[in-house]
Structure 1
Amino acid sequence: MPITLPAPPDTSRLPEELTRRIATTHATLTRADAPLASLGELARLYYANGFHAEAAPLVDHLITAAPDDPRWPYYAADLAQQEGNIPAALAHLETTLRRAPDDPAAHLKRAELLLKIDRPDEAAPHYLARLRSIPADPYAALGLARVALARGDSTEARTRLERLTTDHPDFPAAWNLLATLVDEAGDTARADALRRRGQDAGRFREAPDRWFDELHPWCFDPYRLEVLGAIRMQSGDPAAALPLLERALRLAPNDVSIHDSLADVYTQLDRFDDARRTLETGIAAAPAEPRLPIRLAELLLRLGRRDDALRIVADTLARIPDSPELHNQHGVVLDALGRSDEAVRAYREALRLQPGQPEAMLNLGKSLLATDEAAGFALVSRALELRPNRIDALVLLADRETTAGRLDAALPYVDALVRLAPHDPGVRTVVASWHLRRGSEAARAGRVDEALTAFRTGLSFDPELPELHGNLGVVLVQADRYAEALPAFERLVVLAPDNATGHLYLGGVLVRLDRTPEARRVFERGLATARKAGDATLERRLRDVLARLPADSPR
């Protein structure tokens, strides 16, 4: 079947290699004996580089010319969907599935489109077909939950979502939809907790699609490749981002943004030498751009090479003396070297060049804390106003207010940290400390249930904090709940073996539970610990307790 080729598009903004490939393939197709593979080559070149108007007639022709290949109707469905022509997209997907009846990508895409136009009963079989190809697939499982909702069956939807979040805890869409259903049922507290789990799980990730991935070798648009790499990065898959960004850099070797992104991928993969070389190459290509020297200095600091980091920043400042970002990074490196006075001057210079720069303001505030705490915290607070989601500023302020016993003042910072970075180790420590203080305050006031809740919540953030276990055990003992107190004191002794008081508490609970032989051994270990620590008061107390213990029953 003859075809009229579209005129080649303007590719002047793209690498010259694409222009050559299009011209060569286009010339081949003007011959009468042109192979069908050349038409597929040109269609892929247009489609992969975003020239959809030129790609569409070629793809349509290939649907007929290659009647056994499911790719072309699949690509035609995508082109139709991008134009908003859902009926045409569905028809092309039907053709795809006639050629590849078990293809999971086509089943998912057709199901999503059918659900979008409120045809859930037709969508369901396609989700089930995908599950047959990919058992426990989260995208199909989510789709079936949405089908249940479209049918008005919220019970089935919740059951499917509960199972999905258990099987795939890193799938954010399931948590978010479940949170919506729980919220609609009136359980606001649980809905908020579920939304936090959704945030923890990260960004939604599109389902893998091998037919789209096949097109990457035909893509010569560095920006498009960088975006594809960024999507993989945001999905938590730096290994998949790597070939896309490496290809983008080969096509645009002077692009600072791509150097930056690729170095980030190498760093996440612990390929630090490759990250360093990528940044150094980028600096050589764009010596007047401060972003890459800053990233290189950060990398060198991470690797413990502080003097090299200082050299990089100093050399770059000689070329770009008016960059506030560079002066800020200069301060960071000087702080790491223990040269605090010079760091303060660097931060002040950054703020002189760019008044109100949050990074420099925060770093100056942190640097001043040792010499002028009030001024330091004022700057940290001001930086947080400008950047409300700065974790390090929130940690500093939450810790300050908690340590000072101003728990209500600390609470907004604690809540923000739990919302933004619940798995960050520093955040978990600060949040656990806040709950320890809150629980201790409640215990002193006799609010037992509130105290227990606070201590247990604290342990969910930092299960290795001995004070939380100790305080939890004490409150349980005061409530005569000895069996519940036992594991708290057992864990306390494991975490703080040199704390003789923990042995005293644990032994006391064992006595209450009529486990005298075990209690004796615990008291004796506590006695040895107190003696070693030189704590005469605790040593006498443990001797008295041991003297009052009844004799062990004969075995």
Structure 2
Amino acid sequence: MPKKLKFNTRRFRLPLVLAVLAVLIVVGTNWVMDRARRDALLDRLPGIRDLSFNTKTLKNKVAQADDAVRRTLVGGSPGTAFGQKAGNLGELYQANHFYDQAVPCYQLALEFDNGNPRWPYYLAFVKQEKGENESVESLLETTISLAPNYAPAILKLADSFFKTGKTSEARIYYKRRLELLPGDPHALLGLARISIDETQWETAQDYLKEAIKANPKFGPAHRLMASVHDHFGRHDDMRQSLHIASQCIRFRPAPDPWIDSLNDQCYDVEQLMVLGSKAIIELDIKGATGFFGRARGLDPKNPQVHLALGRLCFMVGQREEAQRFFEKAIELDPGSDEAYFQLGVILRREGNLKEAEKMFLRSLDFHPDNPNVHNNLGVTLLEQQRFQEAVEALNKALEIYPEHINARYNLGLALWSLGKIEPAVQEYRNVLSVKPDWAAAANSLAWILATDKDNKIRNGTEAILWAQVACQGAGRENPEYLDTLAAAYAEAGRFEEAIRTARESLTLARSTGDTDLAEELEKRLQLYEAKKAFTE
């Protein structure tokens, strides 16, 4: 039999140990390097210990989102999940206006989740808000390369190019937006601006006409059209464009669903109040209700939140709910002059004049220099026929704020009620010099000029002019305004027109059930038919 071989392990022991040691060194080195890399990434995340949050909810949300980012690195290398969570944390910071903290989050998201177009877009938005515009255009170009049909990014890039003088590039992107959204007034406005910069005024005019056709209430187009009219010497058209622009709703940025979606992650009470106020300006009542409601949920003892909800309810005609919110605001802040004022407005609307007066006086205890409160107090006194006290309150409002046009109009009413006709006429003239198309003021002045017992004050020709202003548009459906116009015609000796207008007014008064006015009109109509004017 062959001899049994003996295996000498001593010969292989050292190489085996060396091999295992080498593996351990490699594994350990990789672990150390991975740990160092993870630590370096975590160091790039913003710290939350030194941040000041105005609600516990926001603090908890940030802590949870921050923890979610860190957990993606446990037991593994950073990947797409890490980038997504970093981006989500950035969204939360941005939604609550922590822009400095949002930036590094989005930068990490761009590195590890570079296929998501929202990260470069949000980063561009934050940098613009911070005034750091250097890299905005490249970020927007990245966004568009990932989401070629996202029109808000295209508009933002076009506007950025225009602001930096790159008009050729701006024109390309404005037209690209028009391909996606034909007739878009924002893009057309941008093209009109480029045309004006290039002194192509007729081309600018064409773009603006198209923008106004697409959205007749787009104020910026009317304002720029005024510049075009001015250039061509069409000054009447210029004034008309400026007038239309002044009647338009305040300028709103173009819709941006990605940015708007961040509002759902806002847990900052002050910012929610701002968002609610913007929603009211845009007549988005549902949105305003949501923002203010969330603010109340986060801080139910904040009197400003209850004030905002009260104003919103009053705006939509929910007076009982509004009153409860204002009363709650006073409970939370007994020195809230605004809450007392708003309560006074509600009580006056309901005809509870004595209680309204008390609320206005209480408001003035805390803020004696509020012209709006003095004006409303004056109206309340006027409605109680306490005319001299009303004059004093309204004069106080004008002493504080001489441009308060409502107070000046109400002062005219109070002076007229006291029999001080010439001062009343002067106040109405002052009002109409500022707001010449105000129907109520025009009607009041016309009535005095047409019917006052003093021959020196009556002026039928001028009365007709102001009565016609009052009867423009919807004023033609107001029987009182037509009554004034009829009286003005009669004072001017134009009795056929007076009779026709009085009959028109009488028909309207009867149809609306205003029997008192109808009786007065019947008597005045008899005077006009007898070729006599009416005087008080």
How far, CA to CA, are the matches of 2:526 and 2:68 in structure 1?
96
Match of 2:269 among 201, 205, 222: 222
Please list the CA deviations of residues 413-471 of structure 1 after superposition, one character each: whole Å capped at 9, or x if unmatched: 223345xxx6xxxx422224436777999xx9898xx8886554343263232246547
| Equivalent residues in 2 for 1:39-50, closer than 5 Å | 39-50=86-97
**Structure 2 counterpart of 1:153, from 200, 215, 223:** 200
- Give 2:421's aligned residue: 404
Instruction: Give the stretch that moved more between structures: 60-69 or 254-263.
Output: 60-69
Alignment of 1:404-443 (within 5 A): 404=421, 410-418=428-436, 427-434=438-445
> What is the letter of the counterpart of residue 288 of structure 1?
P
Q: Which residue of 1 aligns with 2:354?
A: 334
Deviation at 1:533, TM superposition (A): 6.2
Structure 1 SS opposite 2:472: helix
Aligned residue type for 1:404: I
Amino acid at match of 1:457: V
Deviation at 1:210, TM superposition (A): 0.8
Indicate yes or no: 2:378 matched with 1:358: no
1:395 is matched with which residue? 409
Q: Does structure 1 retain, via aligned residues, the 8 Å contact 2:307–2:339? A: no
For residues 179 and 276 of structure 1, do their structure 2 counterparts lie closer, same or farther at Cα, with a shift above 3 Å needed? same
Residue 466 (structure 1) aligns with: 482
Q: Which amino acid letter does the alignment assign opposite residue 39 of structure 1?
A: A
CA RMSD of aligned residues (A): 4.4
| Secondary structure of the corresponding residue to residue 205 of structure 1 | coil
- What is the aligned partner in structure 2 of residue 21 from structure 1? 61
Counterpart check, 1:101 vs 2:148: yes
Change (3 A) 1:430 1:85: same
Equivalent in the alignment of 2:505? 495
Structure 1 residue 38: Cα displacement: 2.4
Among 277, 282, 301, the alignment partner of 2:347 is 301
1:50-98 Cα offsets, whole Å, 9 max, x none, are 2222221221232243333211111121123234343411111111111
Distance 1:477 1:82, change over 3 A: same
Q: Does 1:59 align with 2:112?
A: no
Alignment map for 1:498-537 (pairs within 5 Å): none
Q: Is the 8 A contact 1:399 1:430 kept in 2?
A: no
Q: How far is 1:147 from its partner?
A: 2.1
Alpha carbons of 1:497 and 1:225: their partners in 2 closer, same or farther (altered >3 Å)? closer
Q: 8 Å contact 2:337–2:367 — kept in the other structure?
A: no
**In percent, how many aligned pairs have the same letter?**
24
1:182-211 CA distance string (max 9 Å, x none): 345555555444333323223222222111
Distance 1:111 1:472, change over 3 A: farther
* Alignment partners' CA distance in 2, 1:11 and 1:220: 14
**C-alpha contact 1:80 1:86 (8 A) present in aligned 2:** yes
Does 2:244 correspond to 1:197? yes
Pick closer, same or farther for the CA change 1:70–1:163 going to 2, 3 Å: same
Aligned counterparts of 1:203 and 1:534: Cα–Cα separation in 2: 45
Q: Distance in 2 between matches of 1:538 and 1:290?
A: 55
Q: What is the distance in 1 between the residues matched to 2:283 and 2:408?
A: 25
1:6 to 45, 68, 77: 45
Q: Match of 1:257? A: 304
CA 1:536–1:250: 2 relative to 1, 3 Å:
closer
Question: More displaced, 271-280 or 215-224?
Answer: 271-280
Kindly state the Cα deviation for residue 496 of structure 1 after the two structures are TM-superposed: 2.7
CA gap 1:98/1:300 in 2 versus in 1, 3 angstroms = same
Question: Structure 1 63/412 Cα, relative in aligned 2: closer, same or farther at 3 Å?
Answer: same
1:59, 1:76 within 8 Å by CA — same for their partners in 2? yes
Residue 377 (1) aligns with residue 374 (2): no
| Residue 259 (structure 2) aligned to one of 198, 212, 216 | 212
Distance in 2 of aligned mates of 1:190 and 1:475: 35
Q: Give secondary structure in 2 for the equivalent of 1:215.
A: helix
The AA in structure 2 aligned to 1:22 is: V
CA contact (8 A) 1:335 1:367 kept: no
Tell me the distance in 2 between the aligned counterparts of 1:446 and 1:297.
43
Please say if residues 8 and 22 of structure 1, whose CA atoms lie closer than 8 Å, have aligned partners that are also in contact. Answer: no
Do 2:502 and 2:525's aligned partners in 1 also have CA atoms closer than 8 Å?
no
Maintained 8 Å contact 1:102/1:129: no
Q: Rate the CA distance shift 1:347–1:100 in 2: closer, same or farther, 3 A.
A: closer
- What is the TM-score normalised by the length of structure 2? 0.71
Q: For 1:535 and 1:78, locate their aligned partners in 2 and report how far apart those are by CA, in whole Å.
A: 67
Which residue of structure 1 lines up, in the alignment, with residue 284 of structure 2?
237
Q: Distance between the aligned counterparts of 1:59 and 1:119, measured in 2?
A: 27
Distance 1:401 1:46, change over 3 A: same
- The structure number with the bigger radius of gyration is 2
Corresponding residue pairs, total: 462
Match of 1:549 in 2: none
Seen in structure 2, the aligned counterparts of structure 1 residues 83 and 289 have a Cα distance that, compared at 3 Å, is: same
Q: What are structure 1's unaligned runs of at least 5 residues?
A: 307-332, 337-342, 500-528, 542-555
Contact 2:167 2:194 in 1 (8 A): yes
Cα–Cα, structure 1 residues 456 and 305, in superposed 2: closer, same or farther, change >3 Å?
closer
Deviation string for 1:286-340 (max 9, x for gaps)? 153434752662475277394xxxxxxxxxxxxxxxxxxxxxxxxxx5165xxxx
Distance of aligned partners of 1:288 and 1:183 in 2 relative to their CA distance in 1, 3 Å threshold: same
The alpha-carbon distance between structure 1 residues 280 and 164, as it changes in their structure 2 partners (threshold 3 A), is same
Aligned equivalents of 1:350, 1:249: Cα separation in 2 = 24
Tell me the secondary structure at the aligned position of residue 214 of structure 1: helix
State the secondary structure of the residue aligned to 1:243: helix
What corresponds to 1:321 in structure 2? none
Partner of 2:190: 143
* Alignment check: 8 A CA contact 2:499 2:528 kept: no
| C-alpha distance 52-460 of structure 1, shift in aligned 2 (>3 A) | same
Residue in 2 that maps onto 1:457:
469
Query: 1:410 Cα deviation (Å)?
Result: 3.1
Contact 1:108 1:130 in 2 (8 A): yes
Partner Cα distance (2:169, 2:491) in 1: 58
Say whether the 8 Å CA contact 2:276–2:287 is kept in structure 1.
yes
Maintained 8 Å contact 1:46/1:54 = yes
Counterparts of 2:285 and 2:137 in 1: how far apart (Å)? 33
TM-score normalised by structure 1 residue count? 0.69
Cα 1:334/1:235, change in 2 over 3 Å: same
* Letter in structure 2 aligned against 1:460: Q
- Which blocks of at least 5 consecutive residues in structure 2 are unaligned? 1-36, 510-518, 532-536
